[in-house]
Structure 1
Amino acid sequence: MTAPSLPHNDTVFVLTVTYNAPLKCVDELLQAHRDWLDSHFSSGLFLASGPRVPRTGGVILARAADRADVEALILTDPFVLGGVAYYDIVQFHPTRGPFAEPLVTGATVEQA
């Protein structure tokens, strides 16, 4: 299955989320954050996500047309709106390895 097509180029973004509040406060917003993630998985923007180990934040892989789109998007995360986390953004062009093409095209691993 291929993700829905969104405007993008060959750029992938690694978004690292860092909690800046106690986990109790983070947990109060966790379901809203997960719903936010799911909406962006459905749109094809997000490719993978999960918590960091130890639980100090999370990581999201995303595709977007440009960095400004990603910067605007993360401002809508309930974690950011609630003041419990902040993001760092790393932009890169996958060119090597078995996941490089699927990351760029949005194809699933089975299709690659």
Structure 2
Amino acid sequence: MFVLELTYTAPVERADALMREHLAWIDEQYAAGVFIASGRKNPRDGGVVLAVGEDRAEIERIAAGDPFAEHGVCAYRITEFIATRTAPGLAAYQQRLP
């Protein structure tokens, strides 16, 4: 599992101008089963996404396709972790230690 932390590298107005494209990209990742939660950070200096996948390179490729990243509006910090415990509603994403 992965935590994707977006931090704006440009004024928030530039992010707002790309928001429709960004949200369409987010929706595509939900439809593909990659994203399971997302939202703005508070204070609003970026966002956070919880993603599932086995391959870090694939998650990095997906993040690079975000219109925010393509237009230099944000930088991504990607943290991989092993979700050994989850809430009951997320049990399908529970992982075992290697």
Where does 1:89-104 land on structure 2 (aligned, <5 Å)? 89-98=78-87, 101-104=91-94
Structure with greater proportional helix content? 2
Is the Cα contact below 8 Å between 1:17 and 1:58 reproduced in 2?
yes
Residue in 1 that maps onto 2:22? 33
1:21 and 2:10 aligned: yes
Deviation per CA, 1:47-106: give whole Å up to 9, x if none. 01000000000000001121000111111100001100010001011112425624348x
SS in 2 for 1:24: helix
Tell me the distance in 2 between the aligned counterparts of 1:102 and 1:50.
21
Matched, 1:68 2:57: yes
User: CA RMSD for the aligned pairs?
Assistant: 1.5
Tell me, yes or no, if structure 1 residue 48 matches structure 2 residue 34.
no
CA distance in 2, matches of 1:92, 1:40: 19
Distance 1:103 1:20 in 2: 31
Note the residue ranges of structure 2 that are not aligned, 5 or more in a row: none
TM-score (norm 1): 0.78
Indicate if the aligned counterparts of 2:86 and 2:94 stay in contact, CA closer than 8 A.
no
**Deviations 1:1-30, CA, capped at 9 Å, x for gaps:** xxxxxxxxxxx1000000010011110111
TM-score (norm: length of structure 2): 0.89
Q: Is the contact between residue 17 and residue 87 of structure 1 (CA under 8 Å) also seen in structure 2?
A: yes
Contact kept? 1:33, 1:79, Cα under 8 Å? yes
Letter in 2 for 1:92: F
The answer to whether the 8 Å contact 2:8/2:75 transfers is yes
